[in-house]
Amino acid sequence: PPPPPPPPGMGPPPPPPAPGFGLRLPPTAQEAVPAKPVIEPPKPMKPLYWTRIQLHTKKNTSPLVWETIDEPAVEFGEFVELFAKGAVKEKKKPISDTISKAKTKQVVKLLSNKRSQAVGILMSSIHLDMKDIQNAVLNMDNTVVDLETLQALYENRAQAEEIDGIKKHVESTKDKEDAKPLDKPEQFLHQLSQISHFSERVFCILFQSTFHECITLILRKMEILQRVCKTLQSSKGVLQVLGLVLAFGNFMNGGNRSRGQADGFTLDILPKLKDVKSSDNSMSLLSYIVAYYLRHFDEDAGRETCAYPLPEPQDLFQASQMKFEDFQRDLRKLRKDLNGTIVQTHLARCI
């Protein structure tokens, strides 16, 4: 039977709520809550525009340094006075606006001009006989012909098409009395090409001389990079400095939903700390954090026993210039040159 009508003066009962509305989800299904409390500074603060990291929203499983960093207990009284938002000052006119204006530019040449000039310059800079060059190449003796000269000779050696052109001219004028001689650069390249396997031999000599230096340079860079990484990962001072930046940044961003209550931050904010100025422009946020660290964390500040809490500046600078792509490129080149040396040695081994 239908339900009885409502008593006089009362309307029908409300309809049941739609599915999913008006029902409180169990605590396990609710959105995770930030670990940091909301901060309300006593005065509006200058903002710090960092990219916030909150651990409760972390999706990847790799560990973060922020899981080991705790914000230190900080006295914010002086900080509030220095980095609170200042009143908007009236812009004054430049003094110039307050002052009223007063009235009132027969040899055979087979090489291009540019190529001939380059070989000619090389010839004029080398004070050696061709026999000296031949001895250095065939006997791997760089006591008379230094490696720099061999490098220049190798870089300016005749290419296949140039050798073909020179040889054809020499053969075509072999027994002709009235034949025009080759120009000096062409003669020089021809004499070099007469040295047995000149290109292959010089390539091997140069690679042998530079291999150890290249490997040593790569290893030295790797050692610097490893030293910097080890210091950044294990230094107590680094973690303390990051904790201070986190504490002051959270205070400055107190009450902001997108920047406050941060468990960490992306490191691109660090170079920008020097650009955040105090209300009276007397110091930057960076200099304030440094001074605060020295006053409250470094017990040996100002003494000879004071230890620098970060990696050495020169190491940091060199590490910042390194790219893994450069390491890969250098190693690929070494491998390629080593394989090339094996091939070139095979070509010249029976000579």
Residue 313, pLDDT > 60, answer yes
What is the overall mean pLDDT for the chain?
83
Bridge-partner residues for 264, per DSSP? 53
In whole angstroms, give the CA distance from residue 255 to residue 259.
9
Cβ(36)–Cβ(250) below 8 Å: yes
In whole angstroms, give the CA distance from residue 351 to residue 90.
88
pLDDT bracket for residue 17 (50, 70, 90): very low
Q: How far is CA 281 from CA 21, 30, 84, 230, 338, in A?
A: 53, 45, 12, 36, 59
* H or E stretch at 222: helix 198-234
In whole angstroms, give the CA distance from residue 52 to residue 34.
12
Residue 68, pLDDT > 90, answer no
* H or E stretch at 52: strand 52-53
DSSP of 227-245, one letter per residue?
HHHHHHHH-HHHHHHHHHH
Residue 36, pLDDT > 80, answer yes
Domain boundaries, the chain: 108-195
pLDDT value, residue 185: 92
- Percent of the chain residues past pLDDT 90, beyond the cut: 43
Residue 151, pLDDT > 90, answer yes
Residue with tokens 């992306």: 266
Q: CATH for 108-195, among 1.10.10, 1.10.287, 1.10.3210, 1.20.58?
A: 1.20.58
pLDDT value, residue 255: 86
Cβ(55)–Cβ(67) below 8 Å: yes
Q: Please list, residue by residue across 273-292, b when 16 or more beta carbons sit within 10 angstroms of its beta carbon and e when fewer do.
A: beebebbeeebbbbebbeeb
How does pLDDT run across 286-302, given as a tens digit for each residue? 999 999 998 888 877 77
pLDDT value, residue 350: 53
Average pLDDT over residues 62-88: 85
